[in-house]
A and B are shown apart, each in its own frame.
Chain A
Amino acid sequence: MTIENAFAFLWSAVAIYAAMGVVFAGLFLTRWYRSFDPSATTGTWGFRVLIGPGVVALWPLILLKMRLINRGGSAQGPAEAPVSPETLRRRHRLAMLVVAVFGPVLFAVALVWRAPGWESAPPVKAAAAVNSH
């Protein structure tokens, strides 16, 4: 399989995933959303349109949660779990340190070995003959 075939296959898979997401979103946003989240029961149309792209992108996650609800669970389970600010802060700090260190490295690499343009090429004397013609 060539790399082009591999990517063509990948995009086909993404297209199928997105198409299934669109169908799922159509059903979810017109029927199933009420049983999924009580707060969505009285949600406006605008709200449903706004969450549409997310439903298309994350439809397997919603499907899993809907199965959980059908088995007597709650979709909002994780919402009750506390945020761990310490973990988030640590991750935040780490992300910023990585950016702070690798950012200048990226700058240096990209600018030191900058691609030469045609303007930097030696002039072609024969071009004068073509121009004068």
Chain B
Amino acid sequence: MGKRAAGQSGRSRQLALIMGHAYKAVGWNRQKKIYDCTLLGLLLLAVSVFGTVIALRHPATTAETFLIRFTSIAAFLLLHVILAIGPLARLDPRFLPLLYNRRHLGVTMALLALVHGLFAIVQFHALGDRNPLVSVFTAYGHDYAIPLTNFRAISQFPFEIFGLCALIILFVMAATSHDFWLRNLGPSIWKSLHQLAYVAYALLLAHVLFGALQAERSPVYPVLLGLGFLVIVGPHLVAARKEHRIDSMRTSAEADGYHSVARAADLREGEGKVVVAGGKRYAVYLQDGRVFALSNACRHQGGPVGEGRIVHGCITCPWHGFQYKAEDGCSPPPFTEVLPTYPVRIIEGEIYLSPRALPLGRKSEGAEWPGDGEPRKTEFFIGWQSKLPVGFAHCVRAAVTVIAVAVPVVMAAVAWFQHPVDRGVFEYGVEREFEGTLFEHPFPRLRIASPDGRQVDHVLVGAGKFGPPPIVAGTNGKHVRFHGSLIVREPLHMIELNRPETFTVLDRNAPPAASPAISPLGEGRFVGELVDTKCFFGVMRPATGKAHRGCAIRCLSGGIPPGLLVRDPNGDGIVFLLAGHEDGPLHYDVQLAGTLIEVYATLELNGETPVLRVMDLKPR
């Protein structure tokens, strides 16, 4: 609180916080505290419901996946509420208390989106062979041309780019949400900037449609997304129609430039009225038996001054409670905002207004009102007053109840109908010592004798999104020992060789052991999804589908052995590792990762590992 505000009355102090001559982080008042507590309560409700359903239905979900999914859904839900509040408040002023502190909703939503974006970039693009921020844009290469080259494959269009663009918009909006920016950017630029919320919504719609909805098969998702679309677009179109009707009102000017704008009898003492003259809106007020006309655009955010009331002798904007004196348009001292005022006259009960503004701040006599002023009895909401009027309170309670019911229902539905999370175990952070015989072909793997006497192959990969480290080269058939972490998706095993410095060849001078037996199972065409085996064996959940595609591209590009995920006759998924035909190199485009491909190959059991020796590989 600034020095000038220190000795002011309670009302002035509240006004000082919003009418800007001493900035604070947040100009707290009772309404804002209630607003933020409600928001926090709803977020806690959402995370509890989402977490409970995920724990019961998809217990294999990792913490990162939970965080990425919860923050995205919560942020997108919040964006729906944020965008729906505006038109609802235009249609019914009793929704204004929801609009009053909307910027806190916006900042919360942007923070949730930021967490989602950062975790998604780290999870799917970091620890690979490219800068993760570069990978987000470039992993998909030629897929950006899909709308031009192969429209039927449009679903493969990279969805991350939409989300990233939306995130940039949301960040700038959140960063400039303080009144400091409103004042220093100017209301016009500030409002224009914040209207980009609609662009962000369109981008996020595309992000979800081309991302999550390509992976999730339940019809619940498109239905929920469609309902959300209607919740936003419906009230906007109705409100736009109402506003358009007002803007279309035609008035004819008299010879001296005055427009007939309203009947004097329509005015009520202390209540504003919005009138139109020459296609522009003005606020007309009746105060102490005189009629005054002012600009309808509040200096704060362009709020409709004419929809306000006279409170404590001042015209009060319904949006954030900015105040002006009717006779000169000036805010009460110490505030400096000034609204343009306009000449008015009343002839035979008709109010006439001249759109030519009086000199800024000059006192106007107004026009004498020919009737008896009836004090206004309807309710009026101002955010800085401690209690909501009864009618407003009922409406807000009903709206919050609807949201409080909708949030858990949506969260539970989204969590419940999720595609089953890929299984598998990654002993992240657990280091074990492994000892066995290393075979380099067709991909590096370690044969370890299990306690029951079987020989179990463990495919070797490196840390992060990399294939096995170079140190394993030239050790084919050797007995080796090293430290690493186990990855298991029964019956498949893998070791992350994340400590190459522990790699020791135990029998360097002994002759190499014989390669595992190969059992050919046949030759033919196989259709399935190209996956990176490290994620599929258990590092990532999900490890398949479009949401994971960026990660799969990075893993394959980093040297992780590729696999083909096919459907067995029971409908279950089984993965075959891919290798070149007759020990030749395997040539393929890593950008096919996460998509259906068709291979012509020989299937063999190499030891216990199913391997496809690929002769031909092409997109499906």
A residues lining the B interface (CB < 8 Å): 3-4, 7-8, 11, 36-44, 46-47, 49-51, 53-54, 56-58, 61-62, 65, 75-79, 81-89, 91-93, 95-100, 102-103, 106-107, 109-111, 113-131, 133
The 15 listed contacts between A and B (C-beta, < 8 Å) are A37-B184, A40-B180, A57-B176, A82-B188, A82-B297, A97-B240, A107-B225, A107-B229, A114-B155, A115-B214, A116-B620, A117-B544, A119-B571, A123-B567, A124-B566
Tell me the complex Cα distance, A60–B130, Å.
30
Which of A56, A87, A99, A126 is in CB contact (< 8 Å) with B522? A126
Instruction: Write out, one digit per residue, whether chain B residues 365-399 have a CB within 8 A of any chain A CB (1) or not (0).
Output: 00000000000000000000000000000000000
Q: B304 — which chain A residues lie within 8 A by C-beta? A: 85
Q: B529 — which chain A residues lie within 8 A by C-beta? A: 117-118, 121
Task: Find out whether the CB atom of A121 lies under 8 angstroms from the CB atom of B596.
Answer: yes
Task: Find out whether the CB atom of B186 lies under 8 angstroms from the CB atom of A93.
Answer: no
Is B198 an interface position by the 8 A CB rule? yes
In addition to A51-B181, A126-B521, 10 A-B residue pairs with Cβ atoms within 8 Å of each other are: A7-B133, A7-B134, A53-B175, A56-B175, A57-B172, A62-B184, A76-B184, A128-B568, A129-B521, A130-B603
CB distance from B196 to the nearest CB of A (A): 9
Is B533 an interface position by the 8 A CB rule? no
Task: Find out whether the CB atom of A110 lies under 8 angstroms from the CB atom of B210.
Answer: yes
Q: A11-B133, A107-B209, A116-B596 are in contact. Are A50 and B178 (CB under 8 A)?
A: yes
Tell me the complex Cα distance, A28–B596, Å.
54
CB distance from A32 to the nearest CB of B (A): 13
Q: A54-B176, A82-B295 are in contact. Are A92 and B568 (CB under 8 A)?
A: no
Task: Find out whether the CB atom of B567 lies under 8 angstroms from the CB atom of A85.
Answer: no
Is B153 an interface position by the 8 A CB rule? yes
Tell me the complex Cα distance, A10–B103, Å.
31
Instruction: Write out, one digit per residue, whether chain B residues 191-210 have a CB within 8 A of any chain A CB (1) or not (0).
Output: 11001001101100110011
Tell me the complex Cα distance, A8–B546, Å.
24
Task: Find out whether the CB atom of B209 lies under 8 angstroms from the CB atom of A82.
Answer: no
Task: Find out whether the CB atom of B188 lies under 8 angstroms from the CB atom of A91.
Answer: no
Is B595 an interface position by the 8 A CB rule? yes
Is B280 an interface position by the 8 A CB rule? yes
Tell me the complex Cα distance, A91–B155, Å.
31
Q: A118-B529, A123-B567 are in contact. Are A102 and B202 (CB under 8 A)?
A: yes
Which chain B residue lies CB-closest to A108? Answer: B209
CB distance from B223 to the nearest CB of A (A): 11
Tell me the complex Cα distance, A44–B2, Å.
9
Is B35 an interface position by the 8 A CB rule? no
Q: How many residues of B contact A (CB 8 A)?
A: 105
Task: Find out whether the CB atom of B186 lies under 8 angstroms from the CB atom of A79.
Answer: yes
Q: A39-B21, A79-B184 are in contact. Are A11 and B134 (CB under 8 A)?
A: yes
Task: Find out whether the CB atom of B240 lies under 8 angstroms from the CB atom of A92.
Answer: yes
Is B26 an interface position by the 8 A CB rule? yes
Task: Find out whether the CB atom of B213 lies under 8 angstroms from the CB atom of A127.
Answer: no
Tell me the complex Cα distance, A97–B239, Å.
12
Task: Find out whether the CB atom of A57 lies under 8 angstroms from the CB atom of B209.
Answer: no
Is B509 an interface position by the 8 A CB rule? no
Task: Find out whether the CB atom of A82 lies under 8 angstroms from the CB atom of B340.
Answer: yes
Q: A47-B24, A95-B198 are in contact. Are A115 and B546 (CB under 8 A)?
A: yes
CB distance from B23 to the nearest CB of A (A): 4
Which chain A residue lies CB-closest to B176? Answer: A54
Task: Find out whether the CB atom of A128 lies under 8 angstroms from the CB atom of B569.
Answer: yes
Q: Which of B217, B279, B527, B565 has the most CB of A within 10 A?
A: B527
Tell me the complex Cα distance, A120–B215, Å.
12
Which chain B residue lies CB-closest to A61? Answer: B185
Is B528 an interface position by the 8 A CB rule? yes
Is B296 an interface position by the 8 A CB rule? yes
Tell me the complex Cα distance, A50–B179, Å.
11
Is B302 an interface position by the 8 A CB rule? yes
Q: Shortest 9 CB-CB distances between A and B: which pairs?
A: A78-B186, A46-B25, A83-B302, A42-B2, A127-B568, A110-B209, A54-B175, A43-B23, A118-B529
Instruction: Write out, one digit per residue, whether chain B residues 424-450 have a CB within 8 A of any chain A CB (1) or not (0).
Output: 000000000000000000000000000
Task: Find out whether the CB atom of A39 lies under 8 angstroms from the CB atom of B172.
Answer: no
Tell me the complex Cα distance, A47–B567, Å.
58
Which of A38, A78, A115 is in CB contact (< 8 Å) with B189? A78
Which of B183, B192, B214, B566 is in CB contact (< 8 Å) with A76? B183
Is B243 an interface position by the 8 A CB rule? yes
Instruction: Write out, one digit per residue, whether chain B residues 555-575 have a CB within 8 A of any chain A CB (1) or not (0).
Output: 000000000011111010110
Q: A110-B155, A121-B566 are in contact. Are A99 and B233 (CB under 8 A)?
A: yes
Q: A103 — which chain B residues lie within 8 A by C-beta? A: 202, 205, 229, 233
Is B51 an interface position by the 8 A CB rule? no
CB distance from A114 to the nearest CB of B (A): 5
